[in-house]
Structure 1
């Protein structure tokens, strides 16, 4: 997929919406977006009976009022004129409803905010990464709004790494971003049985990783990039990747996820899952093959 033609943005009516919309206005053109769906899902849109009694002139439906507020936020930002924008306000379970509409609208990308200091657990964003039928872009609360200049790509030399690299290379055609690979390895616990020291075995592991890197690029006919080889000294791979990305001043992490068949729910790999769970500071794109989490007819039945 070269471009994310249609994207869906999840909003929660918090201060994060202002941050998120501002960043999307900046990034939408380089992502190749032609249609944007902004969606907010409320558990209950009906007004309490006591409020309707006390304020009988309050006749505007709640969903229309929310749509107006969202459109007001959108209009405050300089979106490219050629991008078509639609606002959806629905009642229901947030995760299931967003996924249903993502399927119905056949979106290529879901965009979510990641809070750091603002109130909110972030559970919806984490669950979205697991169940989304397409790539998910997480834009963080405190990262500076900017076009990425350095993109970090964790590599395990799998087909998912290839997809991430191809997308990242395509992104550089519209930016001056530098791509930087990252391969994380660890020294096996039984290394001492070989008679080698920890440092010696780490050097062996790095040597094998460099050979795998060369074979991977040659096999897939990929444009070469610089790559960091890091021996993990932190028990959590996700935390380690975030630490390296901050050290390298990366503006975006692009990582492939593992997927099931097109008719089943998308499944994150273990490292991608740890990264999603831990990372609230560096914008990241979890890249997965666009697939189905429910049939189109099942989605329609739930509207």
Structure 2
């Protein structure tokens, strides 16, 4: 896929890297990646003076030692010969440093691992999903990477759903995949004031959602696709979507951002944020039209 020619992969020098790197090797051909930047950010690369005094053989700078370690990990994975690889080791705040390098290198995609069994909060991955100036892909620890045969697209039939579905449709055509849409609807809290029961108003809301779906197809000339209309309960929407994805044996969840905004908190929308928080089981791609969050990113870098 020509959308993702340049990718950046975050490494944390834990056991997760040994799991993630072979998966990256497998995904390069699927995504059409031509160049990969492997980046590690340490808060402090300098060695304490007492250590260097007591162990004079430690003459290699810490960044060079880390690069050597990463090179060894990469050597054990069979990356295609046509893939250009560059290793970046930096000192500083992990999030702002990774974002800065993503802009400097003009990457199309950021790839992060998601831990399920291994220790780690995943907080950096969640923050990058919000603020990255490009698309972000999450690869779970326990999942084998393959060409996606079944793609789930949560949607609200808005303009950003249109751009996400365009990309999903292109991916489905290229891979021979099946697209499943998922629309969550809910009953307004004041429904009882209308004199109708909960079930009656739920039926009204579903009909409204299906009408939005038909208008969405007509407005953007999309072909018909299998879309599920599901009444949202009071639970976590993110977990609910993951459960649906596992039930349907989904290979990839594809969700779009909302585009230009001045606030990091709404870059993905509330459901997308909850999905990022909850998902460490299904490969997921947060699709962003490249550069749309740059205005926010530029402001962030000036703080």
TM-score normalized by the length of structure 2: 0.91
The CA distance in 1 between the partners of 2:110 and 2:87, in whole Å, is: 14
Task: Specify the alignment match of 2:288 in structure 1.
Answer: 288
CA contact (8 A) 1:42 1:92 kept: yes
Pairwise CA distance, 1:42: 0.5
* C-alpha contact 2:160 2:257 (8 A) present in aligned 1: yes
Task: Summarize deviations over 1:246-299 as a string: whole Å, max 9, x none.
Answer: 2111121111111325x8868221111111122222221112222214459x97
Is the CA contact 2:115–2:140 (under 8 Å) kept in the aligned structure 1? yes
**How many correspondences in the alignment?**
299
The 3-state SS of whatever aligns with 1:128 is helix
Partner of residue 172, structure 1: 172
Residue of structure 2 in register with 1:203 after alignment: 203
Q: Which has the higher helix share?
A: 2
Q: Which runs of 5+ in 1 are unaligned?
A: none
1:149 correspondence with 2:149: yes
| Distance across 1 between alignment mates of 2:220 and 2:35 | 32
The CA distance in 2 between the partners of 1:42 and 1:67, in whole Å, is 12
- Give the C-alpha shift of residue 198 in structure 1: 2.4
TM-score normalized by the length of structure 1: 0.91
| Cα deviation code 1:13-67 (max 9, x no counterpart) | 1111122212111111221211111100001111222322232122222111211
Residue equivalent to 1:134: 134
When residues 289 and 21 of structure 1 are mapped into structure 2, their CA distance, relative to the original with a 3 A threshold, is same
Q: Secondary structure at the match of 1:82?
A: coil
SS of the residue 1:110 aligns to:
strand
Q: Post-superposition shift, 1:108?
A: 0.9
Which residue is equivalent to 1:34? 34
- Farther-moved stretch of structure 1 (224-233 vs 168-177): 168-177
Q: Any residues of structure 2 matched to 1:182-221 within 5 Å, and which?
A: 182-221=182-221
Q: Contact between 2:25 and 2:79, CA under 8 Å: does it hold in 1?
A: yes
Equivalence map 1:1-303=2 (5 Å): 2-260=2-260, 267-291=267-291, 292=294, 293-295=296-298
* Range moving further from structure 2, 141-150 or 90-99: 141-150
Listed as ranges, the gaps of 5+ residues in structure 2 are none
Q: Give the stretch that moved more between structures: 193-202 or 100-109.
A: 193-202
| Residues 175-201 of structure 1, C-alpha deviations (whole Å, 9 max, x = no match) | 232211001111222333334332232
- Runs (4+) of structure 1 exceeding 4 A deviation are 263-266, 293-296
Q: 1:226: how far off?
A: 0.8
223 and 27 in structure 1: CA distance in 2 versus 1, 3 angstrom threshold: farther
- Tell me the distance in 2 between the aligned counterparts of 1:173 and 1:22: 26
Matched residues in 2 for 1:170 and 1:31: separation?
12
**Residue 72 of structure 2 aligns to a residue in which SS?**
helix
Q: 1:250, 1:85 → 2: CA distance?
A: 30
